Amino acid sequence: MTTIDGPRTGLSNQAAYADLHGFVAGGVSSNMRARGIIEPIVVDSASGCRVRDIEGNELIDVNMGYGPHLFGYADPDVTAQIAAQFGRGHMTGLPHRIDREAAGLVAELVPGVERLRFANSGTEALMSAVRLARAVTGRTLVLTFEGHYHGWSETLLRSRGGDGRRPAPGAAGMIPEAMEHTLQVPWNDAAAVEKVFADHGAELAAVMCEPVLANDGVVVPDAGFLELLRRLTGEHGALLVFDEVITGFRVARGGGQELYGVVPDLTVVSKAMGGGFPVAAFGGSREVMEPLARYEAFHAGVYSGNHAALRAVAATLAKIRAAGALYTELDGIGAHAEARVREAVDGAGRTARIGRVGSMMSVALTDPATGEVDEAGHRLLQTACQRRGVYFHPVPAEPWFLSTAHTRQDIDTVAETISEALAETAR
């Protein structure tokens, strides 16, 4: 059979992945994709909540491309509009009428955004948001939280560690001074935040967090924690920056800020906004965006806000706006998944840490003796499930992202598969 990718090679996933390593360094174009893999999947196609690999296996996917697909893969409502835009020129490097439509929809749906800029990825938008916060405040220090991932730019790719001091740079090749202007404390540690403000309040340009921690398992903010960040940043003249790359349009229409009623000074949105297209945005009040409105701060990008990406944004956000009960529906799917997975884990006599907000959920097997996440056990479970036709990420910190394409029956299949796999891996 010939696909749009060319003739089928007859290679197994394993052989194709090994072959890829000769051409693509590490076999992947994002380190995140290689983490924890025991048995690789090389994709042929995806639609709804299913991916098909090059061997012809079909898997129910609950990772769903790390979160952008609220309506499932290849949603016809969105893809039709993107395809039409390709036919009308998808990139001219000039302002386009779609800019107004897409920006207007973001501003309408996200409480903290009046004006914005579009970018190509969460990393770019976050890097630009930090730079803007520094331009607005004339300060440099940024407070971050352990486990919160803010992309891979030079000043934000940090190692773990949250003792209130500077974290170590997160990867080989970063300049030693990369974290010179970054502090880090544990998530939900109010006393540690208060100490940082007491010691450095006048130096802080920004406090940055995911309003729901989604990159280290799903961990909701403690009652009053986001309010504390809002109050302290306000009192000390720092900006509160919410990284809603995951939570934006996912946990509620207006993201974490709508769900928890705490409006930041700067917001970064990305994944669910573009239905899988590489697009992100950062924005805030008219006043906060002023350095960019006057071109004093610098943000650019040949492909930033290209017409195809913004068509994806406009189509996705219009669909979100029109779908009255969307978040009730997504929460129902999430609640069903949480209950069924909990049943499967309990039924197997195992223990797990499950976190969930709406359709975003994390499942991590734990060691019953220590309560710590059992990374190796999780990977074995993942592989056993994958062989049976269910895909979730081999790293337990990576959430499940459910969509309107997941039926109750799909979720039941996932839970039954987990039961069988747990029985197998216990042997």
Helix (H, G, I), strand (E, B) or coil at 5: coil
For the bound state, the minimum distance from the C-beta of residue 126 to ligand PLP, rounded and expressed in Å, comes to: 6
Query: For the sheet containing 43-47, what is the strand order?
Result: 43-47, 50-53, 58-61, 390-391
- Clarify whether 303 is annotated catalytic: no
Binding site for ligand PLP (CB under 6 A): 66, 121-123, 126, 149-151, 210, 215, 243, 245-246, 270
b/e map of 245-280 (b: 16 or more CB within 10 Å)? bbbbbbbbbbbbbbbbebbbbbbbbbbbbbbbbbbb
Q: Which is nearer to ligand PLP, 129 or 183 (CB)?
A: 129
Catalytic residue among 149, 260, 327, 391: 149
Based on the residue annotation, tell me whether 319 is a catalytic residue of this protein: no
Q: Rounded to an integer, what distance in angstroms lies between the CA atom of residue 336 and that of residue 358?
A: 10
Kindly tell me the sign of the dihedral angle through the C-alpha atoms of 23, 68, 312, 118.
negative
Secondary structure of 168-227 in HEC code, one letter for each residue: CECCCCCCHHHHCCEEEECCCCHHHHHHHHHHHHHHEEEEEECCCECCCCCECCCCCHHH
Answer yes or no: are the C-beta atoms of 260 and 107 closer than 8 Å: no
Q: Distance between CA atoms of 351 and 346, rounded to whole angstroms? A: 7
The least distance separating ligand PLP from the CB of residue 270, rounded to whole angstroms, comes to 6
CB of 363 to ligand PLP, least distance (A): 17
Output 210 or 410, the one with its CB closest to ligand PLP: 210
Residue 103 or residue 208: which is nearer to ligand PLP going by CB?
Answer: 208
Return the number of the residue (209 or 422) whose C-beta is nearest ligand PLP.
209
Q: How far apart are CA 380 and CA 421, in angstroms?
A: 9
**Close Cβ partners of 231 (under 8 Å, ≥ 6 residues apart):** none
Name the catalytic one among 271, 331, 374, 410.
Answer: 271
Give the C-alpha separation, 209 to 233, whole Å: 13
Least distance in Å: CB of 96 to ligand PLP?
22
- Least distance (Å) between residue 401 CB and ligand PLP: 11
Q: Which is nearer to ligand PLP, 360 or 380 (CB)?
A: 360
Residue with Cβ nearer ligand PLP (215 or 233): 215
Q: How far is the CB of 124 from ligand PLP (least distance, A)?
A: 7
Whether 391 sits among the annotated catalytic residues: the reply is no
Tell me which residues are annotated as active site. 149, 243, 271
